Amino acid sequence: MASSEASRSSPRSRRELEVRNPRQDKYSVLLPTYNERENLPLIVWLLVKSFSESGINYEVIIIDDGSPDGTRDVAEQLEKIYGADRILLRPREKKLGLGTAYIHGMKHATGNYIIIMDADLSHHPKFIPEFIRKQKEGNFDIVSGTRYKGSGGVYGWDLKRKIISRGANFITQILLRPGASDLTGSFRLYRKEVLQKLIEKCVSKGYVFQMEMIVRARQLNYTIGEVPISFVDRVYGESKLGGNEIVSFLKGLLTLFATT
Amino acid sequence: NFRAQSSGPHREGELRGPKVVTMTKLAQWLWGLAILGSIWAVLTMGSLGLELPSSYQEVLWPLPAYLLVSAGCYALGIVGYRVATFHDCEDAARELQSQIQEARADLVRKGLRF
Amino acid sequence: QATGTDQVVGLGLVAISLIIFTYYTAWVILLPFIDSQHVIHKYFLPRAYAVAIPLAVGLLLLLFVGLFITYVMLKNQRVTKKTQ
């Protein structure tokens, strides 16, 4: 499979090369945190449990954006408990946004796969082995956790939230035809170079950033697999879905609609 | 339904050619609407010299409205169905709660100070 | 499984969409082929309403969405002015 430049080899030829070395796979979990002092130890404990029980090689990279609540303290304790080869602290001084947190985290990642997820316990690490299995099954560039298909679901959402969520997802599917059922989800597994490439190309923020990643992935002909996940929302009480979020979501959606 | 697995073009042993510029989704929609719209306009105004029987004419002229209403009903129905079948993961919440207890105990044992 | 009320509301929306779709399809697609003396025609409004009503509803929806967006954006401006 000839290609003129190594960096522009077709996704297909790269996939074929990578299938040969399953033993050497390492998974880097990027955990951007802001004020997660309570949840951080718990999520790390769950991650360590899932990975060790499945015998998977991993590392957890904690990217704390100068949390005032002492998240960094707790992270340092976790590093001592589990070892600096498993828990990597790569903090930043102030809250700088998700895209840059991923970039920062990836600079220090030694894995060939990256897992992104929320640190607030809404995403459960038990699904990670399933992501990995799915990725190998279809040799996917990306595996996305979906709340909307199969056994996927949520806990802690009221009727209004569900209606808005399904409604927004419906409009997104109609307008963007993205080939993935959950675009705003942020529990995903990426090949490292795929994530790097996509972040370069993405310009939006928040929910829309996650959507844009999938849309761009389609444009670049990356393959996407899906795994149903349960999303346990424990913070919904604090108006996470106000008029503001809805309007910025619509703005982002229409921008993607008009530009991709 | 939407395919979860999107596969790229299947090219065996081909050199990657120059990037093809694809239409934006907006452009696709506009083209689609323009084409359907002109077909409808041509037929309703009888420009092709086709003499459709009056009952067919009666069906033809409200068609754009019909498409919109049908699309609206489809949207309402699908969203309604998906809300009705949106899984509530009670088990996951319970499991998480008990694992949180387990984790706290274990971490304290390992020396974590919360 | 989804909880009780959510299922009821969801299926209610499905029912409404089917009812509207059936009535409207009968009105626009079937009625022109039924003899104008048939009794069924008295259950349907004059044909012009088949376009007028959806048009009015559509415009109202657009108005509502526009007002909502304006409201949110104005509220935003007021908040950023306060923090300056």
DSSP tag of C27: I
- Residue spans of the domains in chain A: they are 22-234+241-259
Q: Which is nearest to A142 in space by CA: A239, A79, A226?
A: A226
pLDDT given for residue C41 in this prediction: 87
Q: Which is nearest to B81 in space by CA: A180, A174, A226, A167?
A: A167
> Of how many residues is chain A composed?
260
Q: Which is nearest to A233 in space by CA: A168, A172, A158?
A: A158
Q: Mean pLDDT, chain A, as a whole number?
A: 89
Burial class (CB in 10 A: 0-12, 13-18, 19+), A88: buried
Chain C CA closest to residue B72: C17
Distance (Å, rounded) from C-alpha B50 to C-alpha B22? 37
Report yes or no on B12 lying in a domain: no
Report yes or no on B71 lying in a domain: yes
Report yes or no on B8 lying in a domain: no
Long-range (24+ apart) CB contacts under 8 A made by A71-80 are: A71/A33, A71/A34, A71/A35, A71/A36, A71/A37, A71/A40, A73/A37, A74/A37, A74/A40, A74/A41, A74/B112, A74/B114, A75/A33, A75/A40, A77/A41, A77/B111, A77/B112, A77/B113, A78/A40, A78/A41, A78/A44, A78/B112, A80/B111
Are A225 and B4 in contact by the 8 Å Cβ rule? The answer is: yes
pLDDT given for residue A10 in this prediction: 64
Q: Do B58 and C47 touch (CB under 8 A)?
A: yes
Burial class (CB in 10 A: 0-12, 13-18, 19+), A42: buried
Dihedral sign (CA B22, B28, B32, B35)? negative
Are A161 and A237 in contact by the 8 Å Cβ rule? The answer is: no
Do B77 and B29 sit in the same domain of this protein? no
- Residue spans of the domains in chain C: they are 1-44, 46-84
pLDDT band at A239 (very low <50, low <70, confident <90, very high): low
B65 CB near a chain A CB, below 8 Å? Answer: no
Q: Do A159 and C5 touch (CB under 8 A)?
A: yes
Nearest chain A Cα distance for residue C30, angstroms: 29
- Please tell me the least confidently modeled range out of A3-17, A56-70, A148-162, C42-56: A3-17
For residue A245, is pLDDT > 60?
A: yes
Q: From the centroid of its chain, how far is CA A40?
A: 16
**The pair of three-digit structure tokens given for residue A159, joined into one six-digit string:** 């009727």
- Please tell me the least confidently modeled range out of A1-10, B12-21, B90-99: A1-10
Do B74 and B98 sit in the same domain of this protein? yes
pLDDT given for residue C35 in this prediction: 85
pLDDT given for residue B10 in this prediction: 47
* Residue ranges making up the domain that contains B40: 20-60
pLDDT band at A9 (very low <50, low <70, confident <90, very high): low
Q: Do A179 and B13 touch (CB under 8 A)?
A: no
pLDDT given for residue C69 in this prediction: 93
Could you give the C-alpha distances from A101 to A34, A95, A254, in angstroms and in order?
11, 9, 25
Do B72 and B40 sit in the same domain of this protein? no
B→C contacts (Cβ < 8 Å), by residue, are 54-56, 58-59, 62-63, 65-66, 68-70, 72-74, 76-77, 79-88
Do B99 and B72 sit in the same domain of this protein? yes
Chain C CA closest to residue B91: C1
Q: List per-residue pLDDT tens for chain C, 84 residues long.
A: 667 888 999 999 999 999 999 999 999 999 988 888 888 888 899 989 999 999 999 999 999 999 999 999 898 888 888 877
Number of domains into which chain B is organized: 2
Q: Which is nearest to A187 in space by CA: A96, A98, A125?
A: A125
Nearest chain B Cα distance for residue C16, angstroms: 8
Distance (Å, rounded) from C-alpha A112 to C-alpha A81? 25
For residue B1, is pLDDT > 60?
A: no
What is the 3 state secondary structure string of chain B?
Answer: CCCCCCCCCCCCCCCCCCCCCCCCHHHHHHHHHHHHHHHHHHHHCCCCCCCCCHHHHHHHCCHHHHHHHHHHHHHHHHHHHHHHCCEECHHHHHHHHHHHHHHHHHHHHCCCCC
Distance (Å, rounded) from C-alpha A200 to C-alpha A183? 19
For residue B36, is pLDDT > 50?
A: yes
pLDDT given for residue C38 in this prediction: 84
Q: Which residues from B are below 8 Å from C54, CB to CB?
A: 65, 68-69, 72
**Residue that the structure tokens 């090949």 belong to:** A191
List all chains that touch chain C, counting a touch as 3 or more CB pairs closer than 8 Å.
A, B
pLDDT given for residue C19 in this prediction: 97
Kindly report the pTM of this predicted structure.
0.86
pLDDT band at B17 (very low <50, low <70, confident <90, very high): low
For residue B107, is pLDDT > 90?
A: yes
pLDDT band at A47 (very low <50, low <70, confident <90, very high): very high
B27 contact partners, CB below 8 Å, separation of at least 6: none
For residue B47, is pLDDT > 50?
A: yes
pLDDT given for residue A236 in this prediction: 55
pLDDT given for residue B6 in this prediction: 44
Report yes or no on B25 lying in a domain: yes
Nearest chain C Cα distance for residue A151, angstroms: 9
pLDDT given for residue A5 in this prediction: 44
Mean pLDDT in residue range B61-71: 95
Are A250 and C76 in contact by the 8 Å Cβ rule? The answer is: no
In this prediction the ipTM stands at 0.88
Nearest chain B Cα distance for residue A246, angstroms: 17
CATH number of A22-234+241-259: 3.90.550.10
Q: Which residues from B are below 8 Å from A4, CB to CB?
A: 15-16
For residue A16, is pLDDT > 50?
A: yes
Do B56 and B84 sit in the same domain of this protein? no
SS3 A116: strand
* Residue in C69, C70, C78, C79 to test binding to A, most A beta-carbons within 10 Å: C69
Distance (Å, rounded) from C-alpha A55 to C-alpha A37? 28
Chain A CA closest to residue B93: A232
For residue A230, is pLDDT > 50?
A: yes
Do B66 and B105 sit in the same domain of this protein? yes
